[in-house]
Amino acid sequence: MADAIIKTKNFNKLNLTGIVIMCGSDRVSPITIQCFINQGATFIVNWGMSEIGPVVINETFNQGDKIDFENALIGNKQYCETKIENNELWVKGDICVYDGWFPTGDSVRYNGSRLFYNGRILK
């Protein structure tokens, strides 16, 4: 949806100052984030799923922030426990429907401060 809005003919004229955009459920590109913050929006990238809830991992960007990455972002703030095994994101926590670690099926990479989405793991 965010990418479709960017393609509208008057997007570059929008003043999104004071507007918060939250985007997830599919990969979010750095270009998408940059387009919205350039128009003044606060942009929140979020990751979540039915088994653990929405907005479990996220990151917030504001106008003037430097988008210095090239891959689809998951985020840098985590509201559950996470681990990566064989490039797969595993999650656990009080908001998870399972008691132990849950394999998400998402291939990720961690760069020391942020989780990035590589794609789905085919099993």
Could you read off the pLDDT of 59-107 as tens digits, one per residue? 999 999 989 888 899 999 999 999 999 999 999 999 999 999 999 999 9
* Distance separating the N- and C-terminal Cα atoms of the chain: 29
Judged against a pLDDT cut of 80, whether residue 25 lies above it is answered with no
Cβ partners under 8 Å of residue 52, min gap 6: 80, 91, 93, 95, 96, 97, 102
Residue 116 · residue 74 · CB < 8 Å: yes
Helix or strand holding residue 32 (H, E): helix 30-38
- pTM score, two decimals? 0.88
pLDDT value, residue 31: 94
Least confidently predicted of 32-36, 66-70, 91-95, 114-118: 66-70
Judged against a pLDDT cut of 80, whether residue 35 lies above it is answered with yes
Q: What is the 3-state secondary structure (H, E, C) of 73-86?
A: EEECEECCEEEEEC
Judged against a pLDDT cut of 80, whether residue 113 lies above it is answered with yes
pLDDT value, residue 55: 86
